[in-house]
Structure formats: structure tokens, C-alpha cells
A and B are shown apart, each in its own frame.
Chain A
């Protein structure tokens, strides 16, 4: 009998203002225990000021085989970058 509870993905924020980053996962019976386990496993040295846990089956992700077509339009549109544009010499703040 599997008495380990649910699998949760853990995201930790290293300091105020930083984004939450994926740290790994934990098993726990509910969210409160998942947070406590996540603190014990991923923050023994104060690596987190905030922790999120998400049930693993609630994470949806792209798959490597999607990669090409799914992301295709975004890596060959140079006009989305500032370097694409020319500005007359000497003009400041553009």
C-alpha cells in the first residue's frame, strides 16, 4: 500500500524580490506537510524566504518533441531586439 502521500514540486524564493525557482520535489499527505517537508529538505541553510508547493500532476509542460514548432516563431524575429534598429549618431536616450 502506498502510504507516502502525494508528490509535490517545490519552488523556493531565495530572497525578497527574487523569482521562485524549482528546487525539487517532496512526498507529503497534504499541502501543509508538503511545505514543512520542503523547508526541511530544501532550506536547511536559509536558502528560502518563501516556498511554494504544487501537486506534480498540476504542472503542465511542453515536451522536447514540441520544441521546434511550438517555439518556432520566437527565435528568428530579430526586430524584437533593440540591436535591430539604427539610430543617428550622437542622439542620446534612444
Chain B
């Protein structure tokens, strides 16, 4: 009896020592790799965060995929195709990285298709006009770049490396979007109106992409303690605003925030209140496109079944 108790205490101290060693590694700025010891919480948090990120890339193909057949020129069509293809690739990088944590991609995909997994709230908004292609590249990819540049220094090796690869490719996404917006903003009155309308619809949801304000973010403290993320939601959101305000001014488009004001002392652009009720409502599944996105993903999965089956049948026939 005494022996069992002793072993249990020793086990506990062992775990405590392992945790202390792990946190010392984090403190020293070391990178954690798949086979290293890690607290179960670290593993769970990473699986959650990384799978949500991968799902976001995958679902993110849909709002822009919507306009491939209606791009106004061949150049725009080629560019949009390349961008959407990139998003598929980005999803794949991150799913691969998530699998290193001991979860199967099939399980992650099931969670997405049955609606239990979350993905970035931004992709639950509809892409209503060609100008949306511009604002998505400019705002949504712009926000993603701010976030991903920070995550490239994440403590978990596979995640950081996936981010580095993605960052290299993401820059063209933002540029092509801003180029579309510039073209429209310098075009006919109708084009300018279309651009301004898209800006009005995508601005606030883009700010929400950075997640809840720091005080309301339940996971942030732990993620930052373990250097999974290095900067806070609010810090990144502010950086995005500061970058984007001059870009909007340069093309004579207004951002739909009457409270936007430069703080001369800090050099930051102060902005108005975010409608967090909208954010939580969309996360819960009540956004304008949540059901459609899920339906589209499920349909694509079902319709693709014959391709997977054919590939397997071919491989079996020829490789045995």
C-alpha cells in the first residue's frame, strides 16, 4: 500500500520536474519538436489552434472560389485561381503540421464536416461583388500576414515552419487584392462605389479576425506563457489598423469607422468599438454563410469520393 502511494508521489514529482524542464526550454527560446515531451495542455491547445487554422485555409477557398468563373479578365482569373490553389496548399501544410501532434487528418476533417470544429469567423461572410476579391486580399490576407508573421516564431517547430512557408506565399495575396481595389477606386463612379461598398462590409469582420480583446480571450494567457503565440490579439489588431489606414487613404476610400483618429502621442490609429456580439454570434454558427460553407465542404467531400476510390483501385491493381 505504502509502495503504491510512494510510486504515485514519485510519478507526480516526475511530472512536475518534466513541466519545469519544459518551461525552462520555452524560456530559453528553444523549439519544441514532435517527439519532445510536452504537457498535455500544450498538445491540446496546439491541436485546437492549428486545426482551426488549417480549417480556415480550407474553408477560405470558398468566398474567392465563388468568383473564379466571373473574373473580369483572363489575368484576374489566373491570379484568383493561383491564390485559391495556394489556400488549399496552406491548409495542407497546417494539417500536416497538426498531425505531428498525434491526431489523424481524417479525424480533423470529420470535425470540420460535422460542424464541431471552428474556423476563422471571417469566412462566414458572403463575397457579393468582384470588389470583394479586392478587399479579401487586402484586409483578410493582410490581417493573416500580421498574425502569421508573428506565429513564424512560435515555440512549436512544425507550426513555425509551416508559417514561414506560408508567409512567403501570402504576400502576393495581399498585393493582388490591393491592386484590384486600386483599379476599381481609380475607375468609373460605379466601380468606386463597388469598392467602397466592399470596404464597408469587410472592415469590421477583418478586425474581428484577431480574436477577442485580450481580457476576454480565454486561451491567450496560456498560449503566450508557452510562446505558442508571441504577441497579443489587441497588439496585432492595432498593428493591422496602423498599416491599413494609410493604404485606404492612398486610394481615397474611407474606412467605415467615424471614431478612427490618430493619437499623435502614441502614433497609433485609435478605432471605434467592435461589435463583439456579432463576432460571438458568427462563431456560434449564426453568421450569414455558416450553413452554406459547411454544406459546400460536405458536398465537395462527397463528390470527390469517386476520385479517391478510383485512385485506390488503380494503385491496388498496378502496384501489387
Given A3-B305, A30-B318, A30-B319, answer yes or no on A24-B93 (Cβ-Cβ < 8 Å).
Answer: yes
- Asked whether A64 lies within 8 Å of B308 as measured between CB atoms, the reply is no
Given A4-B105, A44-B86, A44-B89, answer yes or no on A28-B311 (Cβ-Cβ < 8 Å).
Answer: yes
- Asked whether B93 lies within 8 Å of A29 as measured between CB atoms, the reply is no
Q: How many angstroms from the CA of A33 to the CA of B309 in the assembled complex? A: 13
For the complex, would chain A's binding face be called helix, strand, loop or mixed by DSSP majority? Answer: loop
Within 8 Å CB of A24, what residues of B? 92-93, 96, 162
- Asked whether B85 lies within 8 Å of A4 as measured between CB atoms, the reply is no
A42 nearest CB across to chain B (Å): 8
Within 8 Å CB of A5, what residues of B? 308, 311-312, 315
A 3-60 contacts with B by CB, 8 A? 3-5, 24-31, 33, 40-41, 44-45
Query: Interface residues of A toward B: which range?
Result: 20 to 34
Q: How many angstroms from the CA of A28 to the CA of B105 in the assembled complex? A: 13
Within 8 Å CB of A44, what residues of B? 82, 85-86, 89, 169
B294 nearest CB across to chain A (Å): 20
Indicate if A63 sits at the interface (CB-CB under 8 A): yes
Q: How many angstroms from the CA of A25 to the CA of B318 in the assembled complex? A: 23
Within 8 Å CB of A30, what residues of B? 311, 314-315, 318-319
A34 nearest CB across to chain B (Å): 10
Within 8 Å CB of B96, what residues of A? 24-25
Q: How many angstroms from the CA of A40 to the CA of B36 in the assembled complex? A: 31
Q: How many angstroms from the CA of A27 to the CA of B109 in the assembled complex? A: 14
Indicate if A2 sits at the interface (CB-CB under 8 A): yes
B172 nearest CB across to chain A (Å): 10
B63 nearest CB across to chain A (Å): 21
- Asked whether B105 lies within 8 Å of A27 as measured between CB atoms, the reply is yes
Within 8 Å CB of B308, what residues of A? 3-5, 29
Indicate if B33 sits at the interface (CB-CB under 8 A): yes
Residue of B nearest to A28 (CB): B311
Most chain B CB atoms below 10 A, which of A29, A40, A45: A29
Most chain B CB atoms below 10 A, which of A3, A5, A33, A44: A3
Within 8 Å CB of B105, what residues of A? 4, 27
- Asked whether A64 lies within 8 Å of B33 as measured between CB atoms, the reply is yes
B 74-97 contacts with A by CB, 8 A? 82, 85-86, 89, 92-93, 96
Residue of B nearest to A63 (CB): B35
Indicate if B106 sits at the interface (CB-CB under 8 A): yes
- Asked whether A29 lies within 8 Å of B106 as measured between CB atoms, the reply is no
- Asked whether A29 lies within 8 Å of B314 as measured between CB atoms, the reply is yes
- Asked whether B89 lies within 8 Å of A41 as measured between CB atoms, the reply is yes
- Asked whether B35 lies within 8 Å of A64 as measured between CB atoms, the reply is yes
Give me 24 A-to-B residue pairs in the complex whose CB atoms sit less than 8 angstroms apart, sorted by A's number: A3-B308, A4-B105, A4-B106, A4-B308, A5-B315, A24-B93, A25-B96, A25-B99, A28-B311, A29-B311, A29-B312, A30-B314, A30-B315, A30-B319, A41-B92, A41-B93, A44-B82, A44-B85, A44-B86, A44-B89, A61-B35, A63-B35, A64-B35, A64-B37
